[in-house]
Amino acid sequence: MKLDRAALALLLLLLLAPCVVRAVEPISVGLALAGVLTSYISYPHLYCFFAECCGQSRSLSREALQKDLDNKLFGQHLAKKVIVNAVSGFLSNPKPKKPLTLSLHGWTGTGKNFVSKIIAENIYEAGLNSDYVHLFVATLHFPHASNISLYKDQLQLWIRGNVSACARSIFIFDEMDKMHAGLIDAIKPFLDYYGVVDKVSYQKAIFIFLSNAGAERITDVALDFWRGGRSREDIKLRDMEQALSVSVFNNRNSGFWHSSLIDRNLIDYFVPFLPLEYKHLKMCIRVEMQARGYEIDEDIVSRVADEMTFFPKEERVFSDKGCKTVFTKLDYYLDD
């Protein structure tokens, strides 16, 4: 597909030069075009001028990634710190021992998908639309438990083929809590400390898993801090990372249930996403209004945030849907 677009672009360049075309015979035009296309195919830089190339991945800026997270992700001090350190450290290492594997956990609307999008955009200009970023959704791509063996074979072939084409491939697995247990173990050889597997090195690839599993444990810790009068920013990764991994490993409804990826310590970071408070929803709304070209109207911001529901029932501390539905609510007020 890309080759066709680029070839078409070069053909148009020739056709847009009528004085040149009229000056030569048709056979000469054909030979000239063939020569141009041969040069185009032979020189990667020329090809990459018209089409996305694996080697065009951005030289990640730690500062730019930090700025993106600070401006767009709210209430997630743990996730920000882990993501910036893990991703920038991995990409700056010319010879990593294994692929980077991140497992993001938390309730819906807390920012897991958003963070995977930000990571992709900081590595490839096209972000999630890049040919080297691959998104798998459990309920869409692996719907039937009876087909697990087939899915395992397909998943291995897909990952092997894409990493062969681009070592810096990114694989995002969404809805891990809905994935059939045992399926994800098919990719274990690709995440391990092997230099090469079947003549392919996976050490520069990135694997990101998104899941609601473990959200209860994360909420318990956050609620304990709130009830104790302590700031959520005082929560440390050590307060929940070990408990989170154990919780996910023993969750029968999780794609990580008794997974060898956890048992063999192949997940580099379990990243907790804390439940969002009222003030965080207002931050989301303000940013969304600006993104749509509106001036921030604090009356609208408050009215939208006030429509959201919170838990626990008595204390109403955390939003039960995070920022996910505030944008739909915002549509109502902006259309007035």
Q: Which residues contribute to the annotated binding site for ATP?
A: 106-113
Note the helical H segments in 92-137. Answer: 112-123
**Cβ neighbours of residue 146 closer than 8 Å, sequence gap 6 or more:** none
Residue 65 belongs to what H/E stretch? helix 62-72
Q: Assess contact for 151 and 161: CB atoms under 8 A.
A: no
Burial of 95 (0-12, 13-18, 19+ CB in 10 A): exposed
Residue among 314, 315, 243 at smallest CA distance from 272: 243
- Binding site feature residues: 106-113
Whether residue 55 contacts residue 124, with contact meaning beta carbons closer than 8 Å, is answered with no
Burial level of 285, CB count in 10 A (0-12/13-18/19+)? buried
Let me know how long the chain is: 336
Measure the CA–CA gap between 2 and 299, rounded to whole angstroms: 48
Q: How far apart are CA 266 and CA 269, in angstroms?
A: 9
Give CA–CA dist 196/280, Å, rounded. Answer: 44
Q: Which residue has the tokens 């899941």?
A: 211
CB 138 within 8 A of CB 178: yes
